[in-house]
Amino acid sequence: MQVLLNPHQIRMGILRIVEKIMLRHNIDEPVVMIGIMRGGFMFYTELVSELQNMNIICDFVSCKSYEGTENTGFKMLLDSKVDVEGKHVYLIDDILDTGLTYEFLKVHYEYKGAKSVEGIFALKKYDEKYKEEMCIMSIPKENNDFWYLGYGMDDENGGSRHLKSIYY
């Protein structure tokens, strides 16, 4: 197991993302931050806690697309409760892997009338289609097959989510 990002690097990445979000929105404008459970919980918490001067509405959604290390297809287990109509929505998750969860949720919240829907990820596997989505680190093509863990991402047994660094 090797460290990909340590806590300091993660924090610096979060602050870069926070700056972008704060420059985009008026402080009175309601912005919905939806954490994608379970993997996104650590990233979500740290990101949202840095947006103290903004009008943030927090909610969560629970989705599943993996059993261990096997992609089993998308399932929505719990939808968010907040009214997103006319609001900017950010979907916060641990990793943009295949894009299946992100694509489903993006369409889902657009259908619910969100003004805009964007993803923010701790890690983003390289895909030209998702080059505009914000992330702490974009993974080069040659590393797309690695399994990442820590900082919300689990190992094949569901452990390691609590680790403060991201490993591969």
The model's confidence at residue 128, banded by pLDDT at 50, 70 and 90, is confident
Q: pTM of the full predicted structure?
A: 0.89
Which residue is it, tokens 């009338």? 113
pLDDT in tens, 42-97: 999 999 999 999 999 999 999 877 776 677 777 888 899 999 999 999 999 999 98
All residues at 6 or more sequence positions from 147 whose CB lies less than 8 Å from its CB, including other chains:
69, 155, 156, 168
Quote the pLDDT of residue 92.
Answer: 97
The token pair that represents 73 in the structure block: 């297809």
Q: What is the DSSP letter of 142?
A: G
Q: State the average pLDDT over residues 107-133.
A: 92
DSSP per position, 72-120: EEEEEEE---S--BTSEEEEEEEEESSSHHHHHHHHHHHHTTBSEEEEE
